[in-house]
Amino acid sequence: MHHIRGVILLGAFALLAPAQEVTVHPAPMLYMPGVVDSNSPVFWRDGVMHIINSTGLPRITAVADQYSFDEGEVIPVSVDSGDHMPMWIESVWQDEDGTLFAWYHHERTGVCRGSTLTMPEIGALASLDGGYSYIDLGIVLSAGDPPDCSAKNGFFAGGHGDFSVIADPESGYFYFLFDNYGGEGESQGVSIARMSMTDRFQPVGAVYKYYNGAWEEPGVGGKVTPIFRAAVAWNKPNVDSFWGPSIHWNYAIDSYVVLMSRTCCEPGWPQEGIYITFNRDLSNPEGWTAPERLMSAEEIGFAPGYYPQIIGTGPYETDTIAGQTARLYIKGVSKWEITFTP
């Protein structure tokens, strides 16, 4: 029995947020078709579901639906430039004319002599053939802080990465939720930026970060004010921070929903749990609810238990839109359904 904030459910996890209830309960096991090392975006084309999994070289799989993941052929994608390899495609958006826009995490190497620490940055792609080949449009989000080669988290000397993107057609913006891993302690944590949807073909220089109440800092090199600040900075061996936000619009509760991992409190990014937060207005970065733990590392049942995301179970639903019932995936494995009740 799991008891959180006055909700009691047998054989399930539950929590209450303002005006909604969220429950997680067991479901038959599903595995994404490719190896997973990031958020895995989903889109539909000609009635077929496509999913992109990444481990430095993205791979695409076409299937009837997520219950057919084991039947699809996993195909490596091609990119017209190797300048930003390795890359992890973490989000996509498909235009009405079929052009697929994608955004990737790239880890810049060689930033610290004699060290394997890297500096992640975020770039944009476009595909004219349904996600199998891409044009690299360039880097749209990167940190302005120098690398911290003394960082003790085991992976990054700073940078921006581990993100997701969602379109808000009503406001006319793409919103980026990403991690800032460097700079002063008060600037580290889950941060947000946005770009006008009209700039999607020429995105370099068109993304602006949220800082001190305004969307005016340039995406490349600008400052950030985190929406969820790291409790212990990423350069410390006992880092304590949320990271890896995955966002979707949930029409059952009329709210944006973000799932995040929390690492605490030693090197190597150990998983403490999966957290959830809500906001109905992406233009209000102060409007996110306080993150609540959805599952602990022990409840996940395998390690490393990060990269949480949902995939909706309704017709043509994806990782960015879902309704009352969806599948919850953690590092490419789903043994749970998640239900959102208004």
Q: Identify the CATH number of the domain in which residue 303 sits.
A: 2.115.10
Q: Among residues 33, 71, 28, 72, which one has the least CA distance to residue 54?
A: 33
- Whether 247 and 232 have beta carbons less than 8 Å apart is answered as no
Q: Among residues 82, 80, 79, 72, which one has the least CA distance to residue 58?
A: 79
Domain region containing 207? 31-326
- Whether 56 and 86 have beta carbons less than 8 Å apart is answered as yes
> Digits of tens for pLDDT over the chain (342 positions)?
232 332 323 344 445 445 689 999 999 999 999 999 999 999 999 999 999 999 999 999 999 999 999 999 999 999 999 999 999 999 999 999 999 999 999 999 999 999 999 999 999 999 999 999 999 999 999 999 999 999 999 999 999 999 999 999 999 999 999 999 999 999 999 999 999 999 999 999 999 999 999 999 999 999 999 999 999 999 999 999 999 999 999 999 999 999 999 999 988 889 999 999 999 999 999 999 999 999 999 999 998 999 999 999 999 999 999 999 999 999 999 999 999 999
pLDDT value, residue 228: 98
Does 67 share its domain with 4? Answer: no
This prediction's pTM: 0.94
Distances in Å between the Cα of 240 and the Cα atoms of 23, 115, 246, 262, 304 are 26, 23, 19, 7, 16
**d(C-alpha 168, C-alpha 29), whole Å:** 32
Residue 305, both tokens: 């238990």
Does 73 share its domain with 117? Answer: yes
Number of structural domains (the chain) is 2
Q: Among residues 322, 307, 320, 316, which one has the least CA distance to residue 102?
A: 320
Does 136 share its domain with 2? Answer: no
